[in-house]
Every structure is written in C-alpha cells, then in structure tokens.
Amino acid sequence: MDIEVLGALAVREQGVSITPTAPKPRQVLALLALHADQVVPVSALIEELWAGAPPRSARTTLQTYVLQLRALIATALEQAASDGEEHPTGRRTAKDVLVTLPGGYLLDSGGGTTDVREFDRLAGMGYRAMDSGDFPGAARLLREALSLWSGPAFSDVQGGVQLDMEARRLEETRLCALDQRIDADLRLGRHRELLAELTVLASRYRTHENLHGQFMLALHRSGRRGEALDVYQRLRGTLVRELGLEPSAALRRLQRAILMAGPENVVEAVENADDRLVRVG
C-alpha cells in the first residue's frame, strides 16, 4: 500500500486507488492512513467525525464507513489479481488490509510506502548532516524531504478536530525542515538564489522570525542593506500590532550587526548569538 497525505489524500493498494470521494469515509481513511500499522481507537474516529456530539448511531455509522472502505479495497485487490499482481506476502483480503481489532481499526500498509515516514526519515538525516557540518548533504536531503509535499497536509479532506490538529503538527515539521534547509543554503553562500523564495515566505509567514532573519541576512549579503533593515522594521511593526511583542533579542542583534558591520561581521554576530532566532508563528 502506498499512502500520501502531504497534500491531497491518496491511498493505493497494489497501485489501485482506494480513496473514497464521500467526505466522511474519506475522513476515516485519512486518520487511518496517517496512523498506518497502528490501532486507531473507535473513540478517536468518532471524535474526528462528530466532534464531541456523536449521534446515537455513531458506532453503526462508523461500521458502515469501514464496510465502504473495505469494498474499495476488495475491488482494488481483485483488479490487482486479475492483472496478475500478487502482494509479496501472498493473497490479502480486504479484512487483512483494514483490520478490526479490540477497541479500534488498523490499516495494514503491508510494508508499503508512506510519504510522512519518508519525510521524517529524510528530514532526520538532513538534521544529522547539519549537526555534523555537512551543509551540502543537509541541503540536498532536506530539499528532497520537502519535495514530498504537494500542498497542505490533507488539503482535500474535510478535517475534524484530530485531522486539523495533525495537519498543524505536520506543517510545523515542514517549517522546521524548511528553516534548516535555508540555513544550509545560506552557509553554502547561496544567498542570491534564496531571495525570491524568501520574499514569498516572508510575505506568507508574516510573524515568523527565523524566516525574516534569514531574509535579512540574504539581502545584506547581496549588497541590499537598506532592504534588509526594511524587512526588520516591517516585521517589528507586525509583531507589535498583531501580537503585542517586540522582536527577539537574536533578531535585534542581527539588525544592529547589519547597521554597524559588513557582511562577514554579520555572519559572525549571528553565529555567536546566545540564542537562536525564535519562530513566533
């Protein structure tokens, strides 16, 4: 089974889609797919579908959605069998793929791929490369991890409480990887190449201090000192107006370094800062 949730939901069994079009079964599959090979409690699925106000028929209705998903899985398995494709572990049934267990359901990926796990694997390797000073390797691995995203997680799923929370969590992991990838590129002297991307990111994430700090540094290294200081002032205005906060001490140090020093001293000031730029949001 191949599972994609970093963008539109796509779940395929032996190459055949089992993703339903109806909103509620799609919601159920999305939560099961995110936690593939783990038991998802019935209570969690009911909470996702009805947000604390389930109908009396909630369990029966959930069972109906599970049956609908199994019908799609059975069709996919039959099509794969008719095409002469057999799973490496042997012939599977729909109940082998979507398993009923005490207290919940489990979507058995059968050793297939999930984009979330692949993202976590590549991002983890990228972070370790950063820690060891392998900036080319870090930039490559983190760029590869980020390429798995085609849009916001579950972008075409009508999410409930849990899926919305998971989507926010996944977005945080994406932003962390993006921050580290840009940091690796800056360390490799790719400041001019980053300007277009950082222009868009600073506009999209208007209170994200790390991204604004990286934008300031890329502008200053590109000989655009005035624009770098303008970025700081715009960020400060947004933070004060929307959050009632001043920029972090690290970002203020970066601004002073740009005001007082050349590009090489700016880099030294940032690298010797007592604390890393803090992402506000």
Q: Give the residue extent of every domain in the chain.
A: 7-107, 192-281
How confident is the model at residue 266, as a pLDDT?
Answer: 52
How confident is the model at residue 278, as a pLDDT?
Answer: 34
Average pLDDT along the chain: 89
How confident is the model at residue 148, as a pLDDT?
Answer: 97
Would the CA dihedral through 11, 13, 17, 20 be positive or negative? negative
Alpha helices in the chain (DSSP H): 23-34, 42-50, 58-82, 94-97, 115-131, 135-146, 161-187, 191-204, 209-221, 225-243, 249-260, 263-271
Instruction: Please tell me the distance from the alpha carbon of residue 182 to that of residue 214, in angstroms, as a whole number.
Output: 8
**pLDDT average, residue stretch 50-59:** 90
- Residue 165 pLDDT exceeds 70: yes
How confident is the model at residue 265, as a pLDDT?
Answer: 53
- Residue 275 pLDDT exceeds 90: no
**pLDDT average, residue stretch 221-237:** 94
Helices 225-243, 249-260: crossing angle, 10 deg rounding:
150
- Residue 86 pLDDT exceeds 80: no
Alpha helices in 51-160 (DSSP H): 58-82, 94-97, 115-131, 135-146
Q: How confident is the model at residue 84 (pLDDT cuts 50, 70, 90)?
A: low
How confident is the model at residue 273, as a pLDDT?
Answer: 40
Residues recorded for the chain: 281
How confident is the model at residue 89, as a pLDDT?
Answer: 53
How confident is the model at residue 81, as a pLDDT?
Answer: 77
Matching residue, tokens 């799923």: 157
CATH code: domain 7-107 is: 1.10.10.10
Contact 118, 148 (CB under 8 A): yes
What are the distances in angstroms from CA 91 to CA 71, 78, 121?
16, 10, 29
| Span 166-190, pLDDT tens digits | 999 999 999 999 999 999 999 999 9
Instruction: Please tell me the distance from the alpha carbon of residue 68 to that of residue 194, in angstroms, as a whole number.
Output: 47
Q: Which two three-digit tokens encode residue 135?
A: 């900036």
Q: Residue 10 belongs to what H/E stretch?
A: strand 10-13
**pLDDT average, residue stretch 106-133:** 95
Instruction: Please tell me the distance from the alpha carbon of residue 126 to that of residue 216, in angstroms, as a whole number.
Output: 24
Q: How confident is the model at residue 90 (pLDDT cuts 50, 70, 90)?
A: low
* Predicted structure pTM score: 0.85
Matching residue, tokens 């999930």: 114
Task: Give the residue among 195, 180, 60, 179 at the shortest CA–CA distance from 127.
Answer: 180
Q: How confident is the model at residue 244 (pLDDT cuts 50, 70, 90)?
A: very high
Identify the residue with better confidence: 92 or 149: 149
Architecture per CATH, 192-281: Alpha Horseshoe (1.25)
- Residue 263 pLDDT exceeds 90: no
- Residue 213 pLDDT exceeds 50: yes
Please report, in angstroms and rounded to a whole number, the separation of the first and last CA atoms in the chain. Answer: 35
Q: Is 272 exposed, middle or buried (0-12, 13-18, 19+ CB in 10 A)?
A: exposed
How confident is the model at residue 14, as a pLDDT?
Answer: 86
Instruction: Please tell me the distance from the alpha carbon of residue 31 to that of residue 52, in angstroms, as a whole number.
Output: 17
Identify the residue with better confidence: 43 or 275: 43
